Amino acid sequence: MTFSLANLVYLLQGTLWTVALALLSFVGGGVLGLAVALMRVSRFGALRFAAGTWIQVIQGIPLPVLIFLSYFGLGVTGFDVPALAAAALSIAVNSSAFLGDIWRGCIQAVAKTQWEAADSLALNGFQRMVDVVLPQAIRLAIPATIGFSVQIIKNTSYAVVIGFIELTQSGKIINNALYEPFLIFTIVGLVYFALCSPLSNASRRLEARLRARGA
């Protein structure tokens, strides 16, 4: 048997699941990451400590271990967790630690004069953050966030450890039937490149534009 159109279609189906998993993980990681970032810049020491501990612990646990814990660990407690949900939850939790740290840095990069200006307008903490700080922090965070989304796409390949049929697993299944690893995984790599390269380029362009404006 040789690589056929049907095999290519199967890889493209796996690609669609990769994109779906990446989107779910990015949204979930973004929600958690924003909470972590806001806790990290909170005036309350307990919240800062909790967020810092979360970042340290999650960044210290390999993603495949998180996926195993979500899929098999929750299964032991009686929850029947679908592979997609387990993978999305794990990648979202992993991403939250990194996005939270990225966004914390962007919040703290907003000029001190902006914080002082918000105080001079008698804004409370919530108003200062929502109306003054976050809009500027978001502009700073966009390039790094887009850049990190590339990592999320790559991280979806770890879902292979629980048998979720995304792009990498699709390639493994086809290779088990045809045993043409060089051809098949070259195609898989090219598909990942096609997904990630536009995001990487967009991140670099936005970062260069921000540097030019700051110069």
Residue 119: pLDDT band (50, 70, 90) is confident
Distance of CA 93 to the CA centre of its chain: 9
- Stated pTM of the model: 0.91
Alpha helices in 41-161 (DSSP H): 45-60, 63-68, 74-76, 83-109, 112-120, 125-127, 134-155
| pLDDT greater than 90 at residue 114 | no
- Are 64 and 94 spatial neighbours (Cβ–Cβ below 8 Å)? no
| pLDDT greater than 60 at residue 91 | yes
What pLDDT sits at residue 214?
57
Mean pLDDT of 204-214: 80
Domains, the chain:
18-167 (1.10.3720.10)
Lowest mean pLDDT across 83-87, 95-99, 147-151, 204-208 = 204-208
Mean pLDDT of 75-104: 92
